Amino acid sequence: MDLHIEIAGVALPNPILAASGTFGYGVELEDIVNLKKLGAVVTKGLSLQPMAGNPSPRLFETSAGMLNSVGLQNIGAAAFVRTRLPRLRQIGARVVTNIFGYTVEDYLEVVAVLNEGEGIAAYELNVSCPNTQRGGMIFGSDPRLLAEVVERVKRTARRPVIVKLTPNVTSIAEMARVAEGAGADALTLVNTFLGMAIDPRTRRPRFANVVAGLSGPAIKPLAVRMVWEAYQAVKIPLIGAGGIATGEDAVEFLLAGARAVQVGTANFWDPKATGNVLKELKRYGARHGVARVGDLTGAMEMSTGDSPASG
Ligand SMILES: Cc1cc2nc3c(=O)[nH]c(=O)nc-3n(C[C@H](O)[C@H](O)[C@H](O)COP(=O)(O)O)c2cc1C
């Protein structure tokens, strides 16, 4: 199976990416994962200033999933360009930098810093951060704010802009259309679902922030559904994420309409997860006679096939 794909003009050797926040800046894993062989590495979310993140505990395991409240800890965009990007370039990894901010201006300033970095393939905008300047609104769930941040980032960005949508909205199709209309080159869906957990013994929330982000296998069916809904709503390429841990998980997302996928939480229990998903995807392609991985995108069959009763 030919694994090559293209997203927003960026050629990738295969459709398996490491998801933001679950793979550090990539370089930490260079002894464990062949970064050059991955479709791309998506970095931890970068802000203008370094951020310390939230107090611990930051992770809590749930049934088939994980809640996190890491709080976007990062070294800052300038330090990333200076201290991590050169090594990624040397390795030959394709790098997508994940970006977040609390105001539109924050996003623009981070983009300006990253525009000067050599060896970045694309930007991924994390639009699910609280916007403190406008009463704690969330970019990704307010169509007007989403359009504004995407339009303005597009004007500043020297690289393709992938918009990463939050699943915490009523209509993912609407938000996908808004991002596309504002100029997004591609979409990643989805980020984590808002969740919470309480310790029954102490009656206290598990996290200082009370709510946290749910990821892992528990969210996979929700994420596949959202990719499918977005696929019917927009024409730009989609990158699926949410609970992918096996090659067949990846295939499900591709069939629903994704052109590429990201492996996130699975890296926490197996740092080699991205490589395993790629291997299993190749095996699926060989077994099912798929010529090009791109042929799987949106190729879900709508008929249910032979019913057990007819056999
Ligand atoms: C610990 C942790 C940190 C994350 N940090 C970020 C981040 O900085 N920016 C971002 O856009 N998404 C972040 N995410 C979301 C993941 O990239 C991914 O979209 C989500 O977890 C769903 O995929 P998964 O179920 O495979 O983990 C984070 C997820 C986890 C678990």
pLDDT bin (cut points 50, 70, 90) of residue 311 is very low
pLDDT at 170 over 60: yes
Catalytic residue check, 129: yes
Shortest-distance atom of ligand 1 to CA 100: 9
Residue 137 has pLDDT above 80, yes or no: no
CA of 21 to the centre of ligand 1 (A): 5
State the closest ligand 1 atom to the C-alpha of 245, by its place in the atom list counted from 1. Answer: 26
* 116 conformational bin, left if phi > 0, alpha if psi -120 to 50, beta if neither: alpha
Q: From atom 28 of ligand 1, which residue's Cα is the shortest distance away? A: 21
Q: Mean per-residue pLDDT for 11-18?
A: 98
d(CA 233, CA 175): 10
Judge if the beta carbon of residue 206 lies within 6 A of ligand 1. no
Q: 264 in ligand 1 pocket by Cβ < 6 Å?
A: yes
Q: What share of the chain is helix, strand, coil (3-state, %, to 5)?
A: 35, 20, 40
The CA 22 to ligand 1 mean position distance, Å, reads 6
Dump pLDDT digits (tens) for 25-82.
999 999 999 999 999 999 999 999 998 888 888 899 999 999 998 878 899 999 999 9
Minimum CA distance residue for ligand 1 atom 11: 126
CA torsion, ordered 210, 216, 221, 226, to nearest 10 deg: 70
> Using 50, 70 and 90 to split pLDDT, how confident is the model at 292?
very high
- CA 89 / ligand 1 centre spacing (Å): 23
Q: What is the pLDDT of residue 136?
A: 46
pLDDT at residue number 308: 55
Once rounded to an integer, what is the mean pLDDT over residues 144-164?
Answer: 97
Q: What residue spans define the domains of the chain?
A: 5-55+71-194+215-310
Average pLDDT of the chain is: 93
**C-beta 72 within 6 A of ligand 1:** yes
Return the CATH fold of 5-55+71-194+215-310: TIM Barrel (3.20.20)
**Atom of ligand 1 minimally distant from the CA of 164:** 11
Q: How far is the CA of 307 from the centre of ligand 1 (A)?
A: 38
Cβ(204)–Cβ(198) under 8 Å?
yes
Task: Find the mean pLDDT for residues 256-279.
Answer: 98
Report how far residue 80's alpha carbon sits from residue 114's, in angstroms, rounded to the nearest whole number: 9
The residues pairing with 243 across neighbouring beta strands, listed in sequence order, are: none
According to the model, what pLDDT value does residue 214 have? 96
What pLDDT is stored for residue 130 in this prediction?
A: 53
State if residue 14 touches ligand 1 by the CB under 6 angstroms criterion: no
Query: Can you tell me the mean pLDDT for 226-245?
Result: 98
- What is the four-CA torsion angle of 215, 221, 224, 226, rounded to 10 degrees? -80
Predicted TM-score (pTM) of this structure: 0.96
Q: Which position has the higher pLDDT, 130 or 216? A: 216
Q: Categorize the per-residue pLDDT at 131 as very low, low, confident or very high, splitting at 50, 70 and 90.
A: very low
Q: What angle do CA 255, 260, 262 make, to 5 degrees?
A: 110
Q: Is the pLDDT of residue 205 over 90?
A: yes
What percentage of residues in the chain have a pLDDT greater than 70?
95
- Residue 154 CA to ligand 1 center (angstroms) comes to 23
Atom of ligand 1 nearest to the CA of 243: 25
pLDDT at 231 over 60: yes
Pocket probe for ligand 1: among 17, 20, 253, the residue whose CB has the most ligand atoms within 8 Å is 20
Distance CA 266, CA 215 (A): 10
Q: Are 275 and 267 in contact (CB under 8 A)?
A: no
The reported pLDDT for the residue numbered 52 is 87
pLDDT of res. 139: 84
283: tokens are 């095996």
